[in-house]
Structure 1
Amino acid sequence: MYIVTADEMRKLDQYVIEQIGIPAVALMENAGAAVAREVAAFSRQRGWLRPDRPPHWLFLIGKGNNGGDGIVAARHLLESGFAVTLLYAIPPAELRGEAALQRDAAQRLGIPALVYGDGEVDWQAYDGIVDALLGTGSQGSPRGPYGDLIRQANASGLPILAVDIPSGLDADTGRTHDPCIRASKTIALAFLKRGLVQWPGREAAGELCVAPIGIAPQLAARFGVSSFLLDESFFRSHFAIDPALPRTADSHKGTYGHLLVCAGSLAMSGAGILCAKAALRTGCGLVTWAAPEPLVPALIGLIPEAMLAAIPGGWAAPASAAALVDLLRGRDAAVIGPGLGRFADDTKWLRTLWEESACPLVLDADALNMLAAAADFPAWPKRTAATILTPHPGEMARLTGLSVREVQANRIQLARGYAVEHQVTVVLKGAGTVVAAPDGTVYVNLTGNPGMATGGSGDVLAGMIGSLLAQGMPATAAACLGVWLHGTAGDRAAASRGGAYSLVAGDIIDAL
């Protein structure tokens, strides 16, 4: 499913109107009809469709095309037996273009209409609110009657359905201005907007649905749209992958790859356990866990299915990097970083693995901190083998020299820029995990829940991605499927426990 910016949506609208020949008023009619269907479905779910009293919806109408969509939706609902009232944020005479045409049609039909400021609004006279105030072209904090209406609508306690995006939401970054509509549901028109799949915008949008309005999805590729939402069907259509990972009857353990997990230290041996277990549960045929030699006796038998490789003297030993390079020669992929800790000359150690290994790598946790500390990283040669970085926002901040706030303010653009510049695949973890490929393509994942914000969850993800990489998946596909499966397993685990609050990382592995 495509995800578009406000500018991409504007260009698509313009192309369909001017080149394809679909009139703007027809697109508005389609949009309003789609919104009406969703409002009717919402009313049905709430049990409001009673013959003695139809539900009464209040439509907040702005002066742009978003307001025109809202007027069309009100008209369709009126025809279906609903009670509707229009509440204009500004005098209706100020509407222009297609919105003005819809205003005139509503007046001729006798649809009840109010103008904000002419008197007090009795919010409790309505069952629900449709937000059609501001669309994707709006920028900054809503002011004047728009801001007042948003605040009062939020305070009313009534369910709000937003047309395209909640008013007050930045369509590209997900930033919520003050004020911003807090919707129960958002009906995205034609395509999802970036701001709807990034926090805090994702939370403000409520339930999401995408309503077709007559703009063929295939046109998005023509305009260079390269951001996608991950879901089960997308893996089949885009990557030609069955997320169930079926196996052929004549396969053997060698068919499914050999992963090296380079992880763990005395204080953080659990990171290696979680990473290796997750790799095995994600279908890897063979897993070898490389760990500091002094730690190995305590690890024997903890994961019976995994092999152990002792690193003499531990990670800080002068010969450890060379020993790992030798181990990597016989492996299909490697995960480096969970629970390693930091040690003297560790950036030089990591550069040795970076340059001297032809093995696909997943760099996580302390390996990312080493990379961030390497002042000469921009001069490191680009790897020919796949390289996946899995930073959380704090690690991404260190990699880029930005603050966490700056990272979170525009996650998609930041991940994409870093991936393209360094020719790596970036998995920027967090709510709405972003996967950015070296060619600039971006994927957003919405599976998962807050219970997964717990120690070890990232180690599990690194092991899962490494497992898929070892099984022969291209880096971007492995990263995307690993992220989606990780979130799906987390949701399954939270459901089985009756809530997310008690989730631990091992529960995610058990739910795979």
Structure 2
Amino acid sequence: MHIVTSEEMRRIDRYAIDHIGMPAMVLMENAGRAVSEEVISFLEGRPGRIAILTGKGNNGGDGIVAGRHLSEAGYQVHLIYAESPDRFQGEAALQSQIAHKWGLPHYIYSEQERINWELYDAVVDALLGTGSRGAPRGVYAKLIEEVNRSGRPVISIDIPSGLDADTGQIHTPCIRADRTVALAFTKRGLEQYPGVRQAGTVIVRSIGIPQGIADRMNVNTYLIQEPLLSAKLALNEYRHRQSDTHKGTFGHVLVAAGSRAMAGAGLLSAKAALRSGAGLVSWALPMSMVEPLLGHLPEVMLQGVADEQHGDWRAADPKELIAMAQKKNAMLFGPGTGRFAQDDRFVRRIWEETACPLVIDADGLNMIAAAADFDSWSRRKSPVVLTPHPGEMARLCGRSVPEVQQDRISCARNYAVQYHVTLVLKGARTVVATPDGTVYVNPTGNAGMATGGSGDVLAGLISGLLAQGYTAAQASALGVYLHGAAGDRAVQRRCHSASLIAGDIVENL
């Protein structure tokens, strides 16, 4: 499923109207009908009173059409205009004229006349659409504040009024919707936090615009869903196995991770790589840690790296890891390694002297962030996947965490294109950005996964998929999807999401 910006949606609308010949009034009629059906579904068919908050733009026109269809279905509908219909233009003006002749009850909002919101079983938010910019002002702001205080259930059209359609940031004030009916395509602001929370349940409804127009308009942001995995990423039978295969068929992963203080990071990563379906997993770790970890994960082969009995990586020689990576199908570096003197040089050698696909996570990312010469590193011939959380991403790109979170899609995309990497920006609605600028947003997962080790599991999972021959885009998009889905399964087995731990995610892959 495509995810569009407000500008992309504007261009798609114009293309449908100007090139395909679909009249704007037809699109508005289709939109309003779809919204009315969702309102009826929300109310489970029960009769009642509906207030429709109506702005002067096309969003308001959609609301007026919805009001007509709801009236026809037997609902008592009141149109509450934010301003005089005399100020409406285009299709919205025509719809207000039709509603007047239709006989729909309506009045113009006034701060002096108190609305008894308790009379209404639901409120339809048709005040401001994707074309609005900045915080609502004047009567629009007053109406939003009143509705939010009322406690009435709200169904927003296309996007909650006051929500940034492109970033998901919340202006003050902003409608708190129970359901949002996204028209034709979902919007970026509905698929990124905090917009996800503000929009309630998002339902995408067709209004007659062919989905293929988004491809013609070069929309390259997608919501990861099962149909997308097969149609866009060519994963028709992912993790499928023929009967006559063997362990060598499914690749060999080298996991370079863990230290005395953080052995669990390596353990979780290696186990997740196995659970991904990789045929073989070798775990490279400080030599003095090998004996204590014998038997903890018998399916994994332990390979010690000389550490002068420190139990960490400060004395390790990158040549050892580079040699171990030969003939491997993928390598993971960074979880639980800690930081050490000249570690930026260490990770540079891994970057430039290993030939297999590479995943860098955790401390490995902090090493890159500390490398003043990162811009001059050689471009790798084989893929590299970086898996930062927002704090690590902020260090990588020299910005603050709030700046990263302000527009996660753009931040991830810009970095991936600039450095020719596949970037997995972790967090609620994990973002996967590829070197060509394509972005995938993952809807699976839950708050219980905000726990230590969850990222180590994801890094191991992606590494294991890479080893099996998946491309970096496939491994990353499928990896975050499976990771979140495993967390969703795991939380169902717990009495509360807060009790979820990273090991539960591994066991549900």
TM-score bin (small chain)? over 0.9
Alignment of 1:28-427 (within 5 A): 28-44=28-44, 49=46, 54-117=47-110, 119-242=113-236, 245-313=239-307, 316=313, 320-427=317-424
Deviations 1:118-163 (A, max 9, x none): 6211100000011000001111110111111111111111110000
Give the partner amino acid of 1:16.
Answer: A
Q: SS in structure 1 opposite 2:78?
A: strand
Give the direction of change, closer, same or farther, for the CA distance of 1:3–1:360 in structure 2 (3 Å limit). Answer: same
Give the direction of change, closer, same or farther, for the CA distance of 1:427–1:232 in structure 2 (3 Å limit). Answer: same
Aligned to 2:18: 18
Give the partner amino acid of 1:94.
Answer: R
CA contact (8 A) 1:232 1:243 kept: no
Deviations 1:331-382 (A, max 9, x none): 1001100000001111111111111111100000000000000000001111
Which sits farther off after the overlay, 316-325 or 406-415? 316-325
TM-score by length of 1: 0.97
- Provide the C-alpha distance between the structure 1 equivalents of 2:237 and 2:58, rounded to a whole number of angstroms: 40
CA contact (8 A) 1:261 1:288 kept: yes
- Provide the C-alpha distance between the structure 2 equivalents of 1:306 and 1:168, rounded to a whole number of angstroms: 52
Give the partner amino acid of 1:277.
Answer: K
Percent of aligned pairs with the same residue? 56
Instruction: Report how far residue 22 of structure 1 moved.
Output: 0.7
- Provide the C-alpha distance between the structure 2 equivalents of 1:19 and 1:429, rounded to a whole number of angstroms: 40
Give the partner amino acid of 2:476.
Answer: A
- Provide the C-alpha distance between the structure 1 equivalents of 2:387 and 2:48, rounded to a whole number of angstroms: 48
Deviations 1:426-484 (A, max 9, x none): 00000111000000000001111111000000000000000100000000110000000
Q: SS in structure 2 opposite 1:350?
A: helix
CA contact (8 A) 2:3 2:185 kept: yes
Instruction: Report how far residue 79 of structure 1 moved.
Output: 0.9
- Provide the C-alpha distance between the structure 2 equivalents of 1:61 and 1:273, rounded to a whole number of angstroms: 56
Deviations 1:160-211 (A, max 9, x none): 0000000000000111000111100111011111111011011101101111
Candidates 461, 480, 485, aligned match of 2:482: 485
Instruction: Report how far residue 114 of structure 1 moved.
Output: 1.9
Give the direction of change, closer, same or farther, for the CA distance of 1:496–1:488 in structure 2 (3 Å limit). Answer: same
Question: Is structure 2 residue 472 aligned with structure 1 residue 475?
Answer: yes
Which sits farther off after the overlay, 73-82 or 479-488? 73-82
Give the partner amino acid of 1:92.
Answer: P
Instruction: Report how far residue 319 of structure 1 moved.
Output: 5.7
Provide the aligned C-alpha RMSD in A: 1.1
- Provide the C-alpha distance between the structure 2 equivalents of 1:233 and 1:305, rounded to a whole number of angstroms: 34
- Provide the C-alpha distance between the structure 1 equivalents of 2:23 and 2:11, rounded to a whole number of angstroms: 15
Gapped regions of structure 2 (runs ≥ 5): none
CA contact (8 A) 2:313 2:338 kept: no
Which sits farther off after the overlay, 455-464 or 152-161? 152-161
Deviations 1:380-403 (A, max 9, x none): 111110100000000000001100
Aligned to 1:433: 430
CA contact (8 A) 2:314 2:341 kept: no
Instruction: Report how far residue 499 of structure 1 moved.
Output: 2.7
Gapped regions of structure 1 (runs ≥ 5): none
- Provide the C-alpha distance between the structure 2 equivalents of 1:103 and 1:446, rounded to a whole number of angstroms: 38
Q: SS in structure 2 opposite 1:135?
A: coil
Which sits farther off after the overlay, 493-502 or 19-28? 493-502
Instruction: Report how far residue 243 of structure 1 moved.
Output: 6.4
Q: SS in structure 2 opposite 1:462?
A: helix
Instruction: Report how far residue 320 of structure 1 moved.
Output: 2.1
Q: SS in structure 2 opposite 1:485?
A: helix
Aligned to 2:27: 27
Aligned to 1:446: 443
CA contact (8 A) 1:159 1:184 kept: yes
Instruction: Report how far residue 317 of structure 1 moved.
Output: 5.6
Instruction: Report how far residue 239 of structure 1 moved.
Output: 1.4
Deviations 1:207-254 (A, max 9, x none): 011111111110111111000000112111111214662211111111
* 4+ runs deviating over 3 angstroms: 314-319
Which sits farther off after the overlay, 234-243 or 73-82? 234-243
Instruction: Report how far residue 318 of structure 1 moved.
Output: 5.7
TM-score by length of 2: 0.98
Q: SS in structure 1 opposite 2:296?
A: coil
Give the partner amino acid of 1:471.
Answer: Q
- Provide the C-alpha distance between the structure 2 equivalents of 1:215 and 1:486, rounded to a whole number of angstroms: 33
CA contact (8 A) 1:316 1:344 kept: no
Give the direction of change, closer, same or farther, for the CA distance of 1:9–1:371 in structure 2 (3 Å limit). Answer: same
- Provide the C-alpha distance between the structure 2 equivalents of 1:284 and 1:276, rounded to a whole number of angstroms: 10
CA contact (8 A) 2:50 2:120 kept: yes
- Provide the C-alpha distance between the structure 2 equivalents of 1:258 and 1:82, rounded to a whole number of angstroms: 63
Instruction: Report how far residue 308 of structure 1 moved.
Output: 0.4
How many residues were matched structurally?
505
Give the direction of change, closer, same or farther, for the CA distance of 1:274–1:318 in structure 2 (3 Å limit). Answer: closer
